[in-house]
Structure 1
Amino acid sequence: MRPALTLLLLLTFAWLCYGQNETNHWYFGEEAGMNFVRGKRQILTDGKMTAPAGCTSISDANGNLLFYSDGNTIYTSDHQVMTNGDNLQGNVNHFQNSIIIPKPKTPGVYYLFYSKNFNPPPNSGLFYAEIKFDAANPKGIVTSRSSLLRSLSSHRISAVHHTDGSSIWLATLHQNPYEKNAVNRFSVFKIDDTGIIQPPVVHTGKTTVSNTGVMKFSPDGTKLAVADYGQSDIFLYDFDASTGKLAHKTTIFTDMMIFTPTNPLGLAFSPDSKKIYFSAREVITRSAITQYYIDKPPTTPPTLDEKKRIYTSTDVHFGSLQLAVDGNIYVSIFENNRPIDLEDGIVSQSELGVLKFPDDEDTPVQYEHLSVSLGGKKASKGLPNFIQSYFRNRIIANDECVFENIDFKVDGYTTINAVAWDFGDGTTASGLQTNHTYTSPGNYTVSAEITFNGSTTTVYKDLNIFALPNLVPNQRLVQCDPDNNGTDYFNLTQITSKITSDPSLQFTYYESLADAQSASNALSNPQAYQNKQNPQTLYIRAVNENDCVQIAAFEIESVFVSVPSLTPLIVCEDSDGVVANSQGTFDLATYAAAIRNQLSLAPAAVLNFYRSQTDAQTLNNPIPASFTSPSTTVWLRIDLPTGCGGIQSSQLIVNATPVINLQTEYTLCIDPSKHPPVILQGDPSNDRFEWRDALGQVVSTQANFQLQRIGKYNLTVYKTENGILCSNNRDFLVVNPSIPSIQSWEATATGDATFDVLIEVSGNGNYEYSLDDLSYVGSGNSHNFQGVPPGIQTVYIRDISRCEPAIQQEITLLGFPSFFTPNNDGQNDVWRIAGAQPSFFQDIDIKIFNRYGRLLHRMNTYTADFGWEGIFNGKVLPPDGYWYSAKLTDFKGKVIQKTGNISLVRN
């Protein structure tokens, strides 16, 4: 066959077989590329295009690359600039600056739509070029270019199939010529075998604040979404794919937090068209990917019921999102050196992110950040723009377990006439819907050759067929029967270690196979199941992480083994380190070793203690080797390599603590010989006594102990009970009584030469008082001495019972008259300080001043007793107020200082 004829046949076949393989090749970013072969991603590094934002590419129906473009340059399949395909002047910084649409029913003819925004018009708007493939131009040729479709600038272009399955709708959002600066005008063009139909269907929608933000059709052609980067909105429209008409459905409010505007940028629909995923910038340094459920009714204000945050980052920003034929949504990632400007200043990344399971109702969507390495090439802000209905052609089936009957069906953008299935395991089938059961676990690639409108296409889906849990059947769980009645409690969970080594399995237990198969009537307490017959067959149902189920039968049997009575284990009450709490600490490891010797058990025997017989049977709540408890009964279980070795009860006994009835402190008078003896008594129920002093020396072994001197002491008592000796001890102090103290004293002058002195004492005794340590008076905690002469006096205080130490204190009695009347009547004629005498003080300095601070009179140690008669320089001073300053130092160096006012009165 001649080459030209071969090419013509291939092109004709390409028209007949359009489906989703047209989206297999992706070229984007800085020479980055991907190819999806049989639904599996391959990384391409042969691209020659540098696209900072928008781009588009197309393959033939068999998935062979035809050409790609950034809206300015068209590249052929061998990565050369196509003839007439350079300098189209499309704006490469637009997120959706271009899209390729094959001319329906016209083999080898394609349109490239691209946007310009060069001023003045007509250099701004939506333009298109026509590309042709034929025998003369096997790599394609641009036959026409720069054809104006829409004179108003547009940054958003998307396309979807007409309901007839052949024609295609091209939608663009642009400025409204009737509203200044309003971007709310949709022009929807129908493209069929006659070309681009004019005029377009025009619709005025919601006004977008920004030209930045992606617009996309849903794969099923029923929705159109517009992201407005200038505000926190995504406008969602209903689309009629038969008429091209739009109707506003809802506005998605993209903010997730109060006072945190979320500006949407890229978006993509899930393959089932039920969810929208969008990228957004929340703040200058944080970006996010969010999921929105279309089918959930919107709330006012919107709530998180409709939206779900998938991922956030403060390191990078997220750009375009694009659905691929493998069912995943890919995310372009970039760093922005100029956060406010998306037109330039970005740092490209060498990886993409990917959203997996975007429409799976059973598996939550999973985002894998920076998980798709581009082989050294780099992504930018954009990803290729495709006719979105290509992605509706898909196989619908769920991952299942081996031996499960799986339903298969296909979905397409037009009526499907026939489907030929290949399940990837050598089995085929036909029909729009079918089912299949896999008999071996593994990964299978399922293909479906779809026929519609006389054309065919093949779609693929990877299925994971999960293995069933691996169980060893017919295992046996043997129980010890203490009373030989054949009815006992079993811990059924103990069987799991015998039937599987997989710790991740979830188990339920059943009495019948039918219940296990239907997962009904599961045993409510498998940790303590009482058998109904002996032996008895039960069933375990195991479920793995993939919800695959396996059932196995196992047998339980109760066996009687006689165990001799056990010697009780006895401890002292203080063995737990706490006295008088009625508990002890039992060393069960040593006890078990003794029982092992008593019963001559082999080293392989396993001994464990339990709180109850049921716990021992079910192996629940084993007691630790060091066990603190009051006196109690425990149950020993012996397990032998050959099976149950028996269950027997044992007594754990806590001996009572020997009694000590002592106080922590006793008081011994200063002179014990003058007082009745103080004798402490050890409790007579004890067998032995040890009284020790502060040095630890035993000072008495008698039951009673007489206190003779102060200090720290200890009593240890011993008592033998249940064959073991227990002890108790108590520290106590012997102290002298506390020393009383003078709480306060107050002297009141009763004349020039005497005082009343009130003494108050703080202490625990009954006290008497004296001024000469010979004659004592009074009784109690206070006493008032009357007529006490001025000067330095000593007050003596002692306990009437003579138990406490006696105390004494010197007090200084000085009288400072507040007035005097020098009229020679013999009363108050002289102002003097009572008690200011040389016999009491080694130094006396007294000064008299008038109200102006002038020194009028001064007295010292030798003249103080003469006083002041109100005379200055031989002149009698008039009645007035005067001031004094006194400083007195006694023979012990104690200084008394006082200042005050004097009234001089003359009649």
Structure 2
Amino acid sequence: MLKGIFFIPYFFLLSTSFLIAQPKKWAANWYFGYNAGISFMDGTPKPLSGGIISTWEGCASISDNNGNLLFYTDGSTIRNKKHLVVPGAVDLGGHSSTTQSATIVPLPEEDNIYYVFSIDFSGGEKILQYSIVDMQLNEGLGGLVSKNNILLTNSSEGLTVIKHCNSIDYWILANELGTNSFKAFKLTKEGINRKFIESKIGARKGPAGHLKASPNGQKIAIALFSDSFELFDFNPNTGIVSNQMLIRHPEFHPTYGLEFSADNHYLYMAGTLVDGKQIYQFDITAGSASAVLQSKTSVGKIADSYFGALQLGPDNKIYVAINGHNHLAVINNPTLKGTECGFIKDGVSLGGKKSGIGLPNFISAPFNTQPRVFISRSVGKTCKDITLKADIAPRVGNWHYQWFLDGKPIHRATQTSITPAQSGSYQVIVNEVGSCNKDTIRSEELDVEFLNANPEFTIANCNNVLLKANANAPFQWIGNDIPREQESQDTLTVAGYGVQKYRLKMFYSDNTSCFVQKELSVVFPPTQSYKLEKKSLVSCDTLTLIAPISPNWDTYKWKLLDNSTVNANKVTVRQSGQYIVFVENTQTQCVTKDTLNVIIHPSPAMRTNESFCLASSTLELQAGANGENLLYDWAPNSSKNASLIVDKAGSYHVRVTTPQGCSSSRSINVVELQKVTLGSNITICEGDPIELSPTVTNAPNPVSYRWSSGENARTIKPEKSGTYTLTTKQSVCETVDSIKVIINPLPKIKTTETVCLDKEIEAGGLEEDLTYQWQHSGESTPVIAISALGVYKVKITNTFGCTATRNISVNAYCPPHVYAPDAFTPNGDGINDVFSLFVASGQPVCLDIYNRWGQLIKRNENENPGWDGQVDGTLSPEGTYPYVFRYKIRNDNSIHEYRGVVILQR
């Protein structure tokens, strides 16, 4: 039993197609056309490879209950799942140019025996015959048991198979060529019954065109390969064809492919050959032949080829063959009206293979399932305006309805909908009129309950009453002093006085917009009253509400504006509004209340206390309040304005009052700006002492210091050039001063050193533009001559005027050292024309030159002796000349000799 069942029927009413269950997967694999095939094993058709079939028209395939391929045929040859010819299964009479060349039917109540029906085209005569395949033979690949068993001579090319009413047996339906005779052969577990059921009805049948049955087996359609097709009723119980309906139109030429939608509602027809460019949809439930023809809608067109067979697939879509194409067209939603059915030309790829105009021929109802019935409920303008409607899926067919209330049939309730008159459990039972299925289809039960309540009250104690809803649906109490958490309680206690109205609002849990209200007048018993001293109070910002203590009451509770409560006789509030105090005597359980109206005016909103710096001669102070018509009072000044101009430091106060008399105040402190100076810029030399110290005046408050170099002390000692900025702050006053410091570098000189006594010493400056002053002599040259041991000091000054002193210690005589060249060239070019020697720390005495035989040829006793390569004015020849150089040492008079050889070259 379902309660509140709205969601179930609405789901099916909104559905646009019916997903009909597929009990067996016989149609999972299709082979057709020119080695083409598709598989439905995963629900979506995909190309199949390996198929060895080449036929323009009819063919058939069969798979087992799980969708595994068993075998397929073009009506002439049977091939197993390995695509090999079943032994002997050739020349079965089918033909590549027969509309429905073959179809395959399992023997009822057998899992391994299959009948293969085919239409022989040999010699121009068409013969309906059958062969039998046993899948237990050839190691499960199938073997032929019997073949070429004739059922009907002079058959047309149409062939269809319809489930018997018993859902076990099958009807094999064909029509005789050139007559109006239909012949139905019954296939049971005993085999094919050659004694057929004949129905002579309709037009004479031509050779080509499809014969198709609806999934429920109650309709058949046959294409006449002309400008028309026929619709008939079929009785799956008796095999009789009846009620011919001819559908003719000049656009229909030649009619060929036919297929019914899965819900038996629509028939689709396509022409073929050069004129077969369109697919039409017909509503076969429209009524008369003219009504069905009027429902004609073109749902698909092509220009580059023509259509062929139409076949319903396991997914309830209809697939369409297009001659010579490597895709099948598809009608995605065949149960939808008109072009909403969704025709797509290139619907399913054939993996590079091509289609003819034929598709596999299957049993007409392998996908059919039993209908189901559901009840939907709708509510009109009032809660009692309820309609129940039976909805059937699939929806096609003639149905008999019987409605039940609490398990009993409702008199004359045999329509699709009823209007309930009372509460109870409703159900509908349906039977299809004319159906061979005699099962009764029952809906779920749906509870319908009309909203009803009988609210009442009883006196509890003191001024309390007990409310009781007595409702049959969800409800809400509405009235004074009912807490929100108790609004849905069936019974609750309320306190009051006099006569008060309470309402009970009932509504459906699945449709809260539909509700019924009942009113209850409650008469409270008289009780002792409690009165506050005043009915209204006015205050600024906050107010403490006080309920006077009385000996008659021992519990006090204030109800605030947000419906919260405070259990005390005092409460501080900040909002205007109506406040209720409840008082109770816990012994008598009497409760009463009184109301107090509170008006709270806000004080002016003001800025907090502030401090300002008097940086100029005057400063304007703002009161800092927001509002209109405010009154201002300054102190110690007596100004009444919103601002005040001051010219000296001090503490100032302002009070601001609203028209309602609520006031706020604040203090403003004015601080006089301090004076700070760092003095003039400073230039010094590296190493000179320096300290920056500000002069601060007019600073009664403590002063903080912040230098740009990061220090926070009052004074700093800079170590490098730059601009130094000092920021000082006292209270809110801040000042800034800067000073530029230039520290020039000292001159670059050599370090102090100790040397031996030579002719001269250097001052040791390492850069240009230096000046020198030797302290012992006053000389100013960078190099001076010396003759005595001792310490020599020189003062060196650079261009910045910065000075450094260097000490040079001469503490010993230098050992003598002779410098003599190896060769000279007295050729008069002014370069190396004279052979001369130099002795460091010594005094030359004489130079003797010898020839190669050891003879003295030249003596020179000058202070700086040398030889110009001549002897007595005569040029000496090139060669090697020995020499002896004699000299004295500075610290004694002994003579020393230096011997060598010099080469004379010209």
Q: Same fold (TM over 0.5)?
A: no
Structure 2 length normalisation: TM-score? 0.38
Structure 1 length normalisation: TM-score? 0.38
Please state which structure has a larger fraction of its residues in helix: 1
